[in-house]
Structure 1
């Protein structure tokens, strides 16, 4: 008789026939396996589907982290979930083998400053970004941040012409190691330290790539978001 394929519904989550210690080890193994296989942060609700109702996912994560102490990789809380990542101390070794050609490449100064402004002042229009920096923030610059998955189109602004606003994405949180936007450094402290002072930002190396000035900069209302938002 043919064996039926094992589906998610057939997964024994409760493991009631196992002793408590073995049950916990199995839950730990399942969670670690899912995190190891996942390319993106895994949310709590996804992990809850592979363990029993009496299993505390946070405690499972804590035990996995304890077992990984001293290993070159760890489980981190990021973008509203958890992800297995190489520890920073081994980043240079990984880059030496993998190279820099993949997404995750270093952002230019103008891209980084624009991304920081969007992160702190979102939802924000391109016109407002241009006003903040005192120079045009071109569509091409924002498009590169969107292509990297760091920025997406937000709601339309109530300003005349209803221009699109821009917001950061879960990819932004994952890339910079934030669980949520609440993890951003306190903006008042950054301003007091001069790190978010517009003049200092511009003095520290804002360089607008040639040819990015936008002939239609005055009318953001006509700007449509790319379809890959």
Structure 2
């Protein structure tokens, strides 16, 4: 369990005077309130600051998620933390009623392909990207992805001239609803399954779960990277 940081004086963490069931409910309420109030994903260390030493955060978070089944929003693991997000099916209703989410970054297909390639093969230089796509990747494309905060400069390449490499950022994970880079589709598995190849990638064909379903396989159902608009968070 994550080590707890000092908390503000007056907050009773252990709640020893409460019966176990009420203590658990209070901890659930605290954790959900902290996540709800935060504009960014909340990590385990921050959540551990508001519960007792004997609290199992994993089980507590599972209980919170179970209670949200059937609600228009859910608790998701993203960018190494936890965040409330409205479900995709309600995005159009939210935009229609409030206009929220209409200013989210919009990438062209070519920009999305470059971002996808950086995600899979980082750290990667602009020259290496050019070799992959068979043409030079303009500085403007890199600039767009950097302005959106999706990529940043990585370590210098050991190749002649020591050019900068590019890597994805925490904002990339947050925007696309990924907890870590391990949640990216497995490129080798996609290729082995015949769902993705370099030619298909360059042609703009992304790995889609529905393609797999049509072929009668469930193994790759979650191997998809959605490069459209993100799901709205509670604080958007």
| Coarse TM-score class (shorter-chain normalised) | 0.7 to 0.9
Corresponding residue number in structure 1 for 2:191:
191
- 5 Å matches for 1:104-123? 105-123=105-123
Tell me, what secondary structure is at the counterpart of 1:82? strand
Q: Does the CA-based 8 Å contact 2:113-2:204 persist in structure 1?
A: no
- 5 Å matches for 1:64-213? 64-96=64-96, 97-98=98-99, 101-103=102-104, 105-192=105-192, 193=194, 195-197=196-198, 199-204=199-204
Distance 1:9 1:164, change over 3 A: farther
Residues 56-99 of structure 1: CA deviation (Å, up to 9, x unaligned): 11111111112111110000111111110001111121232325
Residues 14-61 of structure 1: CA deviation (Å, up to 9, x unaligned): 111222111111110111101111111111111011111111111111
Please give the alpha-carbon distance, in whole angstroms, between the structure 2 residues aligned to 1:126 and 1:101: 31
Tell me the TM-score normalised to structure 2 length.
Answer: 0.78
Number of corresponding residues: 197
- Return the offset for 1:194: 5.2
Please give the alpha-carbon distance, in whole angstroms, between the structure 1 residues aligned to 2:9 and 2:120: 43
Please give the alpha-carbon distance, in whole angstroms, between the structure 1 residues aligned to 2:152 and 2:15: 42
Please give the alpha-carbon distance, in whole angstroms, between the structure 2 residues aligned to 1:71 and 1:138: 44
* Structure number with larger C-alpha Rg: 1
Please give the alpha-carbon distance, in whole angstroms, between the structure 2 residues aligned to 1:127 and 1:35: 41
Question: 4+ runs of 1 displaced by more than 6 Å?
Answer: none
- Return the offset for 1:101: 4.0
Residues 153-196 of structure 1: CA deviation (Å, up to 9, x unaligned): 11111111111111111111122221111111110133343534
Please give the alpha-carbon distance, in whole angstroms, between the structure 1 residues aligned to 2:13 and 2:178: 30
Please give the alpha-carbon distance, in whole angstroms, between the structure 2 residues aligned to 1:130 and 1:10: 58
